[in-house]
Amino acid sequence: MKLYRGNIVYSQSRERLVSIEGGYIAVENGVIEGIYDRIPQNYEGVPVEDFGDSVIIPAFSDLHVHAPQYPQRGLAMDQLLYDWLNKYTFPLEAKYADMEFARQVYDAFLQDMIENGTMHACVFGTIHRTATGYLLERMEDTGFRAFVGKVNMDKASPDYLCETTEESLRETEAYLDAYKDNRYAKPMITPRFAPTCTDGVIRGLGELAKKYHVGMQTHIVESKWEASQALIDFPDASCDMEIYERAGLLDYGPVVAAHFIFPSDEDIRILKEHGGFAVQCPDATVNVIAGIMQNATLNDKGVNLALGSDIAGGHNIGVYSQVARAVQLSKLKWFYEPEGNRPIRFEEAFYMATKQGGQIFGKVGSLEPGYEFDAIVIDNMSDSFAPVTPAESVERFCYYGNKSNIRARFLKGKRL
């Protein structure tokens, strides 16, 4: 048992941000037992770590990030998506056949995630099983909750990054089988997106999902081109989501639809029916000009929402920066397309990045009793001449803070 004192801020719901000044968080075996305004009598003598006026908040969840693209972050951002992928991203991803290169990148990637307060993530690897497995092992050893996918690409891809259907399914099964018993970082089926996958690989992945009871992540209607090309490649489907539903890929675990910018009503119905998550990646959609997700509209329709850094389409690995950008883009969306849209409030975006996104991993993303104590402590957000409240400190951190403002990091109650 241990007590932590400080200003405490977390999402109770999409609309409500709880703020407690000078409170105590009681943590037992890595799980939050309760929050108190003073030390309870039965906890007298329990060690207390006092963070003074600093603010304790939940760690962030990144539901869409490409670990192999980490060396590319902040580069070639003047390119549009097609050229960005073919000139830079695909040649970079081919390098993960080299395990020495993969180890260096993935170690740095995981360290940077943690330093920026992200403790849970849904991660794309590459087609390379061994390299992707190394990242999964490192996350498992750290206790980092994650879903990590070996990517499937068996058509319409560069020759050096294109699998045969048989190879893609064989390597995916070997990957799923090797890590099926992981406790924290778990494998996830990851077709890159419909236009790079044959019907044979999609159907085969559906069989593997059933056999190993795993979920799926992919890019869904990220662009108008993708939405139309998917239906050209899979003419029996009425929408992008139905391609995966027919194959049984949405029935056995979490479902993560990255971007979800141009969904049809049927896409929305299917994602909602399977309890899937639509993931907004604000920086990335600005950088590659894909479009702005209708997060307010999707929320009002009952769709689960989360945020992703989408490194390296996005340039900032800190999910807190995506909280601010999500608010900004919602206002732009509403300003230029007022019908059916509305600006979102800071509370809504913070909820997406913490409690709602965290649901996919279990009891993480909040500081309520029963949640794992995955948290960060932020400071230096208030001015002596114009002090701000703890909640305002969190908002300011999301808009212009960085990892230097993170004073402490906790994962399952352990200080990192």
Dig out the tokens for 287 from the structure.
Answer: 């950088």
> Domain segments of the chain: what residues?
2-58+365-415, 60-361
Q: What is the mean pLDDT of the chain?
A: 97
Out of 217-226, 234-243, 288-297, pick the least confident: 288-297
Mean pLDDT of the region 340-367: 97
Reported as a single tens digit per residue, the pLDDT across 171-189 is 999 999 999 999 999 999 9
Per-residue confidence band for 252, with pLDDT thresholds at 50, 70 and 90: very high
CATH of domain 2-58+365-415: 2.30.40.10
Please name the residue ranges forming H helices in 237-318.
Answer: 240-246, 265-273, 282-287, 295-300
Question: How high is the pLDDT of residue 80?
Answer: 87
Right CATH for 60-361 from 3.20.20.70, 3.90.220.20, 3.40.640.10, 3.20.20.140: 3.20.20.140
- Is the pTM value of this prediction over 0.85? yes
Contact 112, 318 (CB under 8 A): no
Mean pLDDT of the region 256-283: 98
Question: How high is the pLDDT of residue 334?
Answer: 96
Helix H or strand E encompassing 36: strand 31-36
Residue 290 has pLDDT above 90, yes or no: no
Contact 45, 370 (CB under 8 A): no
DSSP, res 345 = P
123: Cβ–Cβ under 8 A, 6 or more apart, which residues?
A: 65, 66, 67, 135, 146, 147, 148, 149
φ and ψ at residue 300, rounded to 5 degrees: -65, -20
